[in-house]
Structure formats: C-alpha cells, structure tokens
A = this chain, B = another copy of it.
C-alpha cells in the first residue's frame, strides 16, 4: 500500500496570463517546477512529502475557448477538440518544465480517462494513477473538456479533479495554489473555513477575477467542503515564491478548509 498522496493544484491564473488567447507565464511555470523539484529527490521513488499528484487549471488555454464554443446545444465537435488541444498544450509546457527539473512527471488528460454526468465526474480510470504513485511517477492532470452523459460534453475543473482524487486516494493533504493569499474577508486571509463557520464567511468569499468558467473562489471552497472524508485542504498563493515548496514541506499556508 502506497502512502497517502499529496494533491497540489496550480491555478490557471498562476501559470497563464488572463488574456483572450493562450499565453503562458513561462517564468512562473519554471519557478513552480523548481519548487516542486526541490521537494522530490530524483533518486528516491517518492518525494519528501510522499507520493504527489499535480493538477493544473486551464487559464487562457481553456476558459476563453470554452466560452467561445459554448452554444445553447452544447459544444460542437470541433469546439471540444479545440478546447482540449489548447489545454493539452499548456500541459505540455508544465510537463516539460517538471521533467527538465528532475520531476518524473507524466501527463494524464481527463478527456481521455473519464466520463462526466452534468459536469461532475461519473467514472474515471484511476488504477494507472495508483500504479504511478506506487513507483514515484507524478501524474499531472488538468482542467479539461470531457464527454458527458447528459450534456454531450462538459468542462471538469482542476478543482473538481483535486477533490475527486483526494477521496479516491485518501489524500494526506490537498493544496489549491491560486494567485491570491487565500480566501479573503475585507482583505485579510480567513485562517480556517469549516462547514460550521461557512455560512458566516460566505458573503465575504468572492469569485476569482477574470475569465473563469469553473466557479472562482467560492467554487473552490464549496468543492473542498464537499469532500466526504476528513482531509485538510489549503487555499494559498502559489504566485508567491516558496509557498508551494513550503506547502509540500508541511507548512499550512493561506486558508485551511476542513470538513469538521
């Protein structure tokens, strides 16, 4: 039995410019890769924090395309193909940066391994992920367009993937790296959100700015609170140097979200 994995999600706003066409933040992608690499030894099958799953958002490699191709009848075939190819090309950049820095990172496209129902993951091949984790490969998934039993095709966000895999693999910790310091109330980071205090902080939780078709900050909190097992999750600023490395080393940055 493999140790429980850590799940690290890097938001599209961390890795891409919020533009209408795909524009990577190459320096940020490389910095994230270096911080992740700093916690993973090339010679050890698992990193300092044990097995790791990385998920990234789509940012300008997915959101503008999804908006453009969304019609009342759903996505067209060529729309599905264009959305998927765009976000897969961001995934290529992430994988390249990770591998160059010595992280044994392997691409896993949700389009290829899961089926959704009304935008929620209905079934997903995950045995290959477990086998990768057991031998120290770091699977790298991303928000993606996927086939959907109800709507034909839908968008599954990186946030949803993070919580789905957290339950599937009983994750040790989940980290959602965003471009802000955490969940903010009047400019200050809320240190802890639980089901008990959620209603009292809800009005302070804003959606994330820019082009985001997948729910923004409120969506992230709701995804994390809905996790059906007890997992400590953190929403933090992955655009600030060393916060990812700190999280992977055991720090508790930003806002902690816990079920209990």
Q: List 29 A-B contacts (CB under 8 A).
A: A45-B77, A77-B104, A77-B135, A77-B136, A77-B137, A78-B104, A80-B137, A81-B99, A81-B104, A84-B106, A85-B99, A85-B107, A106-B111, A107-B109, A107-B112, A109-B109, A109-B112, A111-B128, A112-B128, A113-B113, A113-B128, A114-B125, A114-B128, A115-B125, A115-B128, A123-B127, A124-B125, A127-B147, A131-B152
Interface on A for B, CB 8 Å cutoff?
45, 77-78, 80-81, 84-85, 88, 95, 99, 104-109, 111-115, 123-125, 127-128, 131-132, 135-137, 146-149, 152
Question: In whole angstroms, how far apart are the Cα atoms of A75 and B26 in the complex?
Answer: 31
Determine how close the nearest CB of chain B comes to the CB of A33; give it in whole angstroms: 14
Which residues of B sit under 8 angstroms from A85, Cβ to Cβ?
A: 95, 99, 107
Please state if B99 and A115 are interface contacts (CB–CB under 8 Å): no
The answer to whether A108 and B112 touch across the interface, beta carbons within 8 angstroms, is: yes
| Measured CA separation A64–B127 after assembly (Å) | 28
Q: Which chain B positions have C-beta within 8 A of A115?
A: 125, 127-128, 131
